[in-house]
């Protein structure tokens, strides 16, 4: 039996995203980072199977809404290969396969244990918990929505402290942003969303920058908005993040 046109189209969307991710993965391997960055994890290498399965299973069509995060957390995507990939949600709700590998050089305080990791990633738990509450199943959520990370790299200092991309020096952020901007633009060109939602100011700014540089990117005018980052490090997120996120999405016309 030959595949239907919708199956063929879905396959092409996912295949394009896998190719873009592979190109970004390899491009980022060329970059070097200086102290206080001591460790760099790239889940697109050691959790490639889990990440590509996420794309192949859920990016089977163009999406009405794309959410964008900044980069992996040590207990989220770094463990599972899934954006905001809190272990229990990646395993049980998204039903991701077990990540197969580990970084070549690990910080002893930040080991990659995959589904055996006993730490919960609060940002991912909040984000995916909201989507589960609102949509029920992952299939219902992903029917019109998708979640990406702008940068796939996790940066750690010697102490084990997470070093986010906005804290890197300009000599390092320029080539990093160039590669990530190009990949994001290519992915949006494939997914062609009507709404773009930055999870936190950094991600929202990245969306504004990429879309402004490529006005032809989406073929129509996508609406860009932002919601609070769900990290506990953000005091405002600790005072009813779910309600604030839903209110922001409704105000932007996303929901």
Residue 148 CB partners (closer than 8 Å, separation 6+): 66, 67, 68, 69, 83, 184, 187
Distance CA 109, CA 77 (A): 16
Long-range contacts of 130-134 (CB under 8 A, 24+ apart): 130/242, 130/245, 130/246, 132/89, 132/93, 133/242, 134/246, 134/255
Alpha carbons 164 and 235: distance in angstroms, whole number? 18
pTM of the predicted structure, to 2 decimals:
0.94
Q: Which residue reads 């290519």 in tokens?
A: 186
Question: Token pair for residue 19?
Answer: 């190719």
The topology under which CATH files domain 5-251 is: Uracil-DNA Glycosylase, subunit E (3.40.470)
140-191: pLDDT as tens digits: 999 999 999 999 999 999 999 999 999 999 999 999 999 999 999 999 999 9
DSSP-based three-state secondary structure for 129? helix
Q: What is the pLDDT of residues 117-131, one digit of tens each?
A: 999 999 999 999 999
């Amino acid at each position: 039996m030959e595949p239907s046109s919708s199956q063929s189209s879905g396959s092409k969307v996912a295949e394009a995203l896998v190719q873009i991710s592979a190109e970004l993965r390899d491009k980022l391997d060329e970059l070097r980072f200086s102290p206080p960055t001591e460790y760099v994890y790239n889940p697109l290498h050691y959790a490639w199977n889990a990440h590509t399965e996420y794309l192949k299973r859920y990016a089977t069509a163009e999406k009405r809404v794309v959410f964008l995060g900044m980069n992996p957390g040590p207990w989220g995507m770094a463990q599972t290969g899934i954006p905001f990939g809190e272990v229990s949600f990646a395993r049980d709700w998204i039903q991701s396969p077990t990540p197969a590998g580990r970084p070549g050089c690990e910080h002893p305080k930040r080991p990659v244990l995959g589904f055996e990791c006993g730490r919960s990633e609060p940002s991912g738990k909040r984000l995916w918990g909201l989507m589960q509450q609102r949509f029920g199943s992952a299939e219902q959520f992903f029917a019109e929505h998708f979640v990406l990370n702008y940068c796939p790299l996790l940066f750690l200092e010697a102490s084990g402290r997470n070093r986010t991309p906005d804290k890197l020096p300009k000599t390092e952020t320029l080539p990093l942003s160039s590669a990530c901007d190009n990949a994001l633009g290519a992915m949006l060109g494939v997914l062609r969303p009507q709404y773009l939602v930055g999870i936190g100011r950094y991600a929202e700014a990245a969306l504004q920058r990429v879309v402004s540089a490529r006005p032809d990117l989406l073929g129509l005018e996508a609406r860009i908005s932002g919601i609070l980052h769900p990290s506990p490090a953000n005091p405002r997120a600790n005072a009813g993040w779910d309600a604030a996120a839903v209110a922001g999405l409704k105000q932007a016309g996303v929901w």
